[in-house]
Amino acid sequence: MNVVSKHKDSSGKLERGNSPCSRDSAQVARYLRARIKKRVVKILLGWFYTQQQQQQQQQQQQQQQQQQQQQQQQQQYFFFNEVYNNSLWNEKLQNNMALNNVFILLMQG
């Protein structure tokens, strides 16, 4: 509410906006603007804080997923490596047994 009143100052000239009523309304307006600014700042800070928290949570989830994928890949690698090594070992064992059989046949025969 902008109240503009006209009254005479000490020199007798008319002044605008210097009455106690208009000063009070200007003070109220400044006070309300300051309160609104503070409230807006609080709201924005809260919003930025929640955004930051959500980003951190998303990053942590992505890191956990990457770690799980790496662990799964390592387990698969170790498993297939073990299977491959076992198959090589079995093949070598069979070759050795075949050579032993040939050697035994040669010795007997």
pLDDT in tens, 16-69: 555 556 678 888 999 999 999 999 999 999 999 999 999 999 999 999 999 999
Q: Is residue 72 predicted with pLDDT exceeding 80?
A: yes
The single-letter DSSP state of residue 12 is S
Q: Show me where the domains of the chain are located.
A: 6-108
Q: Phi/psi at 17 (nearest 5 deg)?
A: 75, 15
Q: How far apart are CA 19 and CA 5, in angstroms?
A: 6
Bridge partner residues of 6 (DSSP):
16
Residue 14 in tokens: 């008319």
Which residue matches tokens 């387990």?
75
**Is pLDDT at 96 greater than 70 in this prediction?**
yes
| Helix, strand, coil percentages in the chain from 3-state DSSP, rounded to 5 | 80, 5, 15
